[in-house]
């Protein structure tokens, strides 16, 4: 297992759409292991493969307080969503940034495990919100895309000293919010 570097906003690779996983081989097993190693080292609760510069639809989540309940979702698809709530989110790719977004707190999902076995599950609460956040990463979206105009304005001012251009904060904001990294009111 290797702890990999997490891409940081505004890296354009965070905006790439992830590809469907078709080979459930040793390389994929290594990727899943690396995702968890990186997730635990960063003290997050969720991490998507695109955040470590691997454009594949692989998500690693562990929302347990003791980091002892790893869950993998490969090629996840949201079948149903309900109970929209306002939640505070943050992201390992945007350290120190958080904001309130609206996101479903109940999901029905279809995915595959690390061996390629398909499953469907009903998720609620933090797990549903976290997976929704990570699925956004698979589509090249970040939680800041779902922030209100005024939240993005505050974010732009905050990031101004880091050299992040105004267009980078606002152009992404036009992207629609949906139900995919990082931390969501969790360890990181």
DSSP symbols for 11-58: -GGGGSPPBPP---SHHHHHHHHHHHHHHHHHT-SEEEGGGGT--BSE
Cβ atoms of 69 and 91 closer than 8 Å:
no
Closest of 98, 68, 102 to residue 82, by C-alpha: 102
Active site residue 134: yes
Phi, psi values for residue 107, rounded to 5°: -135, 150
Given 37, 88, 89, 134, the catalytic residue: 134
Q: What angle do CA 105, 111, 112 make, to 5 degrees?
A: 145
pLDDT digits (tens, 9 = 90+) for 137-146: 999 999 999 9
| pTM beyond 0.75 | yes
Coil, strand, or helix at residue 59?
strand
Q: What are phi and psi of 79, to 5 degrees?
A: -90, -35
56-108 pLDDT, tens digit each: 999 999 999 999 999 999 999 999 999 999 999 999 999 999 999 999 999 99
Over the chain, what is the mean pLDDT? 89
Residues 132 and 78 sit within 8 Å (Cβ to Cβ): yes
Q: What is the mean pLDDT of residues 21-32?
A: 98
State the DSSP string of 79-98: EEEEEEEEEEEEETTEEEEE
Question: CA-to-CA distance for 55 and 10, rounded, in angstroms?
Answer: 16
How many other CB atoms are there within 10 angstroms of residue 19's CB atom?
Answer: 14
Say if residues 127 and 179 touch (Cβ distance below 8 Å): no
Model pLDDT, residue 182: 39
The residue ranges of every structural domain in the chain are: 12-172
Q: Which superfamily does CATH assign the domain made up of 12-172 to?
A: Peptide deformylase (3.90.45.10)
* Cα separation of the two ends of the chain: 21
Neighbour-count burial of 22, counting CB atoms closer than 10 A to its CB (0-12 exposed, 13-18 middle, 19+ buried): exposed
């Amino acid at each position: 297992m290797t702890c990999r570097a997490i891409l940081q906003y505004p890296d354009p690779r965070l905006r790439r759409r992830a590809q469907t996983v078709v080979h459930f081989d040793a390389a994929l097993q290594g990727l899943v292991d690396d995702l968890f190693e990186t997730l635990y080292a960063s003290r997050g609760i969720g991490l998507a493969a695109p955040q470590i510069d691997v454009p594949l639809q692989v998500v690693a989540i562990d929302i347990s307080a003791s980091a002892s309940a790893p869950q993998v979702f490969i090629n996840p698809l949201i079948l149903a969503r309900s109970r929209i709530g306002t939640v505070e989110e943050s992201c390992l790719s945007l350290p120190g940034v958080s904001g309130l977004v609206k996101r479903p707190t109940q999901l029905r999902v279809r995915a595959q495990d690390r061996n390629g076995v398909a499953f469907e599950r009903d998720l609620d609460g933090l797990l549903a919100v976290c997976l929704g956040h990570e699925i956004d990463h698979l589509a090249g979206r970040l939680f800041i895309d779902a922030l209100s105009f005024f939240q993005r304005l505050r974010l732009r001012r905050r990031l101004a000293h880091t050299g992040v251009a105004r267009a980078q904060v606002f152009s992404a904001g036009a992207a629609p919010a949906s139900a995919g990294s990082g931390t969501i009111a969790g360890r990181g």
